Amino acid sequence: MNMDTRILDAGKEYDIKAAGEILRRGGLVAIPTETVYGLAGNALDPTVSAQIYKVKGRPSDNPLIVHITSMEELPPLVTEIPEAARKLAEAFWPGPLTIIMKKSPLVPKETTGGLDTVAVRMPSHPAAQAIIRAAGVPLAAPSANLSGLPSPTVFEHVCDDLTGRVDAIVNGGDCAVGVESTVITVVTEIPRVLRPGGVSVEQLRAVLGTVEVDRAVLEKPAENARVSSPGMKYKHYAPKADITIVDASLEEYAAFVNAQPDATALCFEGEEKLLSCPCVPFGRAEDALSQAHCLFAALHTLDEIGAKTVYARMPRKTGVGLAVYNRLIRAAAFRVLVPRDEMIVGLTGQTGAGKSTVSKILAERGCTVIDCDGVTRDPALYSGACLEELQKAFGRDIIEPDGRLNRRLLANRAFADEASAATLNRITHPVIYSRLCAEIDARRRAGARLIVLDAPTLFEAGADRLCRRVVSVVAEESVRMQRIMQRDGLTEVEAKRRMHAQQTDAFYADRSDFVLDNTVSVSETELDMMLAALGCAHTGEAN
C-alpha cells in the first residue's frame, strides 16, 4: 500500500469537514480520540471494515468498536438497549467506555468479527465527535497502529505506522486517557468487564452494583481462545524489546535492576535517581491516570532507544491501574519476576482507623508484624543529634528531669500546625527509616516470609519504598475521633490536632493495593479478600 495520505488539523473546521467527506465516501481516516488514535471507517459498510483489517494487518475475527455521537444513533445498531446499558451510558458517555449489546442486522458481521453482538462507544474528544457528525455514519475505529505494535497516543506515532496506508490522518495532539476504552458486556446475566480502561471497575460497580471481571483481563488467554472483545489478544501491545515485570518493592526493584547487565528500566517518574541504567519513566507511582497516559508512548520510546532487555515496575491493579497492568502484562508476554521470596506489606491509614486492630488479626494468622509506633517508643531511638534537634525545635522541656521524653507535650506542640508536624517528620523520619530497615533485616534473617509494617506515617517516612504491597485502613472522621479520645485519653482538641496532621481517604486509595474500611468493622471475609488481592492467600503457610 502506498497512497497519498493527507494530513489534517483537528482544530480546523474545513479539515474536519474534509475528514467527514472522505469517510462518507468509504475512505479511511486516522482520528484522535480521548483514549488512543483510531483508524476510522464507515462501520456499516462491510468492504470498509475489511479494508480496516487489511491496513492494520489484523485478523478479521477481532471485533471493531462502533463510535457514535448521540443516544439517537444507538437504537438502529442494536436489537434492544438493556437497562444496564442505559445506566452506563448516562453515567459514562461520552467517555472511555464501550458497551457490548446484541447487534441489529444493520451492523455487518464484518465489523463485529463474526459475532452477533456489537461494541458501541460515544467518544468525548471534540474532534472525534465532529468527525463522526461530519461523516454522518457511525465509525468503526480500532487503534490506529499496525497489529501487534503499541497503540498510538501521539500524532507522530500514527504517522509512523499509517502514512501511505490511509486517506488522511487528523492531528489532534496527545490523547488524554492514553489507554483504550473499558469494554463491558451487558449481554451476560451479570455485566462483565472484558477489557479494563479509562473507566475503572470500581466506577462501574458504583453504577451497576455487581460487575464481573473476565479472567482474560489478568491471565494469559489460551492460544485458540475465542475473542469476544477488541484487545483481548495477548500479543496486542508488544514493542520489540523483551519486557519483564518485576514484582517487588522499589528498593528491591532497584537492587535487582542495578545488578543486571544491559538492562533498561521502565520505571515511575522520580525513581531514576535510584537506578544506574537507562530509564524510561511512565507516569507517577501514585497516579494510575498518569501511567495510562504515558504507557504507550513509553513503549515506543523503548524501541526508539533500542532497548533490548527491559525490567518494568509493577503497576497497582486498582482503579485505572488495572488497565495499565492489563496492557503492560501483554507487552511483557506475561513474564513476571519476583526477586525476593519474602513479601513486605505496608499497613497504614489514619489515626484510630484500626491499623493495630488489623495487624493483631494478621499476627494471629501467622504474619510477622513490625509495630512502628512501638519502634518510636524505644527510648534509645530518639537520642544524640536527633534528640538535640527535637529539643531545639519543640523546647528543652520535652525532656523530663528524669531524662524521659514527654510524648504528650511533644505531640501537642508537634501537631499544633502543619509546619510543626513537618518539622517533627523531618527530624524523626530518617532515624525511623534506618531502624525499620534493621528490623526488617532481622525478621528476614529469622525466616519470616510475610512481614507487615504497621506504620501510620508509612509514606511520610518514605518507608513505602520498602514494601511490595500497601494496605490502608480508613474510617469516618467522627468515628476515628471518638476512638482515639477513648483509647489515648485525649481531649477533642488534641484528637483533632493529630487527625489534621494526617492524610485524606483519597491519598491512601491512590497509594494502596487494598483499602479496608473499618468505620463499622472489618470482617474475616474482607481480610481473606485482601490477602488474596495481595497475592498471599495462605498467610499461615507463607511464614
Answer yes or no: is 352 a known binding residue. yes
Stretch that binds ligand COD, among 82-90, 220-228, 269-277, 369-377 (CB under 6 A): 369-377
Judged by CB under 6 A, the chain residues 490 through 519 that form the site for ligand ATP are 518
Cell numbers 500546625: residue: 417
456 binds ligand ATP (CB under 6 A): yes
Residues contacting residue 53 through CB under 8 Å, at least 6 positions apart: 59, 60, 62
CB of 457 vs ligand ATP, minimal distance in Å = 9
373 binds ligand ATP (CB under 6 A): yes
The CA–CA distances, whole Å, from 205 to 178, 292, 529 equal 22, 21, 17
DSSP 163: T
Q: Which does 420 bind (CB under 5 to 8 A by kind): ligand COD, ligand ATP, none?
A: none
CB of 480 vs ligand ATP, minimal distance in Å = 8
Answer yes or no: is 355 a known binding residue. yes
421 binds ligand COD (CB under 6 A): yes
Nearest to 473 by CA among 492, 452, 494: 452
Cβ atoms < 10 Å from Cβ of 172 = 24
Q: Which does 521 bind (CB under 5 to 8 A by kind): ligand ATP, ligand COD, none?
A: ligand ATP
Stretch that binds ligand COD, among 10-18, 143-151, 284-292, 368-376 (CB under 6 A): 368-376
Give dist(CA 167, CA 41) in Å, integer.
10
Residue 390 one-letter amino acid = L
320 or 467: whose CB is closer to ligand COD?
Answer: 467
Stretch that binds ligand ATP, among 31-39, 118-126, 444-452, 481-489 (CB under 6 A): 481-489
Give dist(CA 347, CA 332) in Å, integer.
29
Query: DSSP characters for 266-320?
Result: EE-TT-GGG-SS-EEE-S-TT-HHHHHHHHHHHHHHHHHTT--EEEEEPPPSSTT
Of 79, 383, 491, 521, the one binding ligand ATP by CB under 6 A: 521
424 binds ligand COD (CB under 6 A): yes
Cell numbers 497503540: residue: 151
455 binds ligand COD (CB under 6 A): yes
Residues contacting residue 140 through CB under 8 Å, at least 6 positions apart: 40, 41, 42, 43, 48, 49, 52, 64, 65, 66, 67, 111
Of 461, 471, 473, 536, the one binding ligand COD by CB under 6 A: 461
DSSP 187: S
Contact footprint for ligand ATP (CB under 6 A) = 349, 351-357, 373, 456, 473, 483-484, 487, 518, 521
Q: Show binding-site residues for ATP.
A: 352-357
Provide the binding-site residues for ligand COD, judged by CB under 6 A: 351, 372-373, 376, 407-408, 410-411, 414, 421, 424-425, 428, 432, 455-457, 461, 498, 501-502
